[in-house]
Structures are given as structure tokens and as C-alpha cells.
Structure 1
Amino acid sequence: MTVDNGVRVVAGSMLLLSLALTHWVHPGFVWLSVLVGINLIQSAFTGFCPAARLLTRLGLK
């Protein structure tokens, strides 16, 4: 798996987790979805993505 694909998996998983937590635990977890979206937008403009750095350190290419 490449880092780009890994970032998509992490982002999608975080969004699904956030939506599940919002539905079953507390409505405030919707802010996690907002933060994931903001991070995706800023990484498109700046090229900096914390998830990509983490996945690179974990050995993805």
C-alpha cells in the first residue's frame, strides 16, 4: 500500500468513527469530522499531512 492510499484509509476511517461516535455517544464528536476535513483541505494546499508522516515512519512507501 502506498502512503497516498494509506492517508485515504486513515481519513475515511476517522470520518466513519467520528460519525459513529456522534450518533451513539455524543453529538460533540461531529467536531472530529470537521477537523479531519480541515486537515484534508490544508494538506491539499500546503503538502503537509501528519498522517502521511506517520505512515512513512511506519514503513509505507
Structure 2
Amino acid sequence: MALPKHSGWSIERIVPLLGGSVAGASLLLGRNRSPKWRGLTAFVSANLVLYGVAGWCPMSLFLQKLGVPRTAACPVKA
């Protein structure tokens, strides 16, 4: 069974990708530069939880204003 190919970038894909990237980068900065960077990790984590529970976060609202679609169309095989 093959995995389905994604059909473009949507808010549902971009928000977790950006959140994970920023959280990882801030953890590295917190280890190598200053522990204060870990506050950014906490902020990103809180926003990802908000997005999971409520379905929106500040980044999703910003992406929506930029015209990014909320969901990508998923082709269904008959």
C-alpha cells in the first residue's frame, strides 16, 4: 500500500511544520546560546496545543489572510 501524495500546501500542513521547526531551532539556541530561548519553545508548544484543541492559532489566522487554503483537496480513488 502506497502513501497518498499531498496535493499542495495548506494551513493544516504548514502550521505543524513551522511549529516543529521553530521549536527545534529554539531548543538548539537554548542549548548553545542562552537558556532564555526555551521560552520560545514554550510559546510555540502552547500555540500548537491551541491549534489542536480550537482549530486555530495566530499563525493559522495570518496564513489565512495571506490566502493559503485551510485544507488541501485529497484525491479519492474509486
Q: TM-score, normalised by structure 1?
A: 0.81
For 1:13 and 1:38, locate their aligned partners in 2 and report how far apart those are by CA, in whole Å.
Answer: 15
Q: What is the aligned counterpart of 2:52 among 38, 44, 47? A: 44
1:45 Cα offset (Å): 2.8
Contiguous gaps of at least 5 residues in structure 1: none
Tell me which moved more, 3-12 or 41-50: 41-50
Instruction: Give the aligned residue type for 1:37.
Output: S
Q: TM-score, normalised by structure 2?
A: 0.66
Percent identity of equivalent pairs: 28
CA RMSD of aligned residues (A): 1.4
Q: 1:41 and 1:54 mapped to 2: Cα distance?
A: 17
Computing the radius of gyration from Cα coordinates, the structure with the larger value is 2
**1:9 alignment counterpart:** 17
Unmatched tracts of structure 2, length 5 or more: 1-8, 70-78
| Count of aligned pairs | 61
Alpha-carbon distance between aligned partners in 2 of 1:30 and 1:54, rounded to the nearest angstrom:
23
Tell me which stretches of 4 or more aligned residues in structure 1 moved more than 6 Å. Answer: none
Higher helix share goes to which structure?
A: 1
